[in-house]
Structure 1
Amino acid sequence: MVDVSTLGREAGRIADAVRHWSPARWRSSTVDESVDRAQLMSDAIQRVADAAADAEGQPRRPVPAPDSPVGLTDQWRVVMADLLAADPGAKPLHDAHEQVARLRSGLW
């Protein structure tokens, strides 16, 4: 089972690794070429935002697409911080950790 501090560190490492990416790099395909990197990150952001909303007892809301894929890094940091601050419990932490693993395997 993953804990809050471990998940926070792992999510931060992803954000640090991609924060300098250009829009062109975000638009390139994932490792398995199923989607582009921006879509993979957007999907992960939405799933973590949904988990945070569930943990807070709030309705789920769509996360708006940033003007540029460069903004995805900030969105990732915000939704992950929201989730970790919500004292989410084991299942949401596990689900968020799966998103971290998907990003790690798909982005590189």
Structure 2
Amino acid sequence: MSAVELDRAVELLVRQVRHWQQPRWSATATGGNVSRADLVHRLVQEIANLCADAEGGPRRAVPRLDNDLALPDQLRVVAADLVATAAPPELLARAAVEVTATRDVL
């Protein structure tokens, strides 16, 4: 898995959600019991965790911002951070799978 493929998966998800307003973010994700915003924030946290693992550093909590409309930007930032670490292909693949799985249930 390459950085280009991860970037593509992130871009597809961002295109899907970037125009959403708050009621759509607050809606329950398909087949689940959490909001779409909670699901995307969980994805952001997972990618941040992969980035910390790639750097050999400690995992840190990604802040949950007051405005859910910032979630696409948070996702782009943590994905770019992961790519910048020169993460091994297996971590990039895991991140891309997580992004795609999240996109599928939104």
TM-score bucket (shorter structure):
over 0.9
Match of 2:92 in 1: 93
Secondary structure in structure 2 of the residue aligned to 1:38: helix
Question: TM-score, normalized by length of structure 2?
Answer: 0.93
Is residue 48 of structure 2 the alignment partner of residue 49 of structure 1? yes
Q: Hey, what does 2:67 align to over in structure 1?
A: 68
Alignment partners' CA distance in 1, 2:8 and 2:25:
22
Q: Aligned residue for 1:14?
A: 13
- 1:24-67 per-residue CA deviation (whole Å, 9 max, x = no partner) reads 10010111133110111011000000001111122110000011
Corresponding residue pairs, total: 106
Q: TM-score, normalised by structure 1?
A: 0.91
Contact 1:40 1:106 in 2 (8 A): no
Identity over aligned pairs, percent: 38
3-state SS, counterpart of residue 50 of structure 1: helix
Question: What is the root-mean-square deviation in Å for CA atoms of aligned residues?
Answer: 1.1
Aligned partner of 1:26: which letter?
W
Counterpart-to-counterpart distance in 2, 1:30 and 1:92: 25
Partner of 2:35: 36
Please, which moves more after superposition, 67-76 or 12-21? 12-21
Q: Matched residue of 1:104: which SS?
A: helix
For structure 1, list consecutive stretches of 5 or more residues without a partner in the other structure. Answer: none
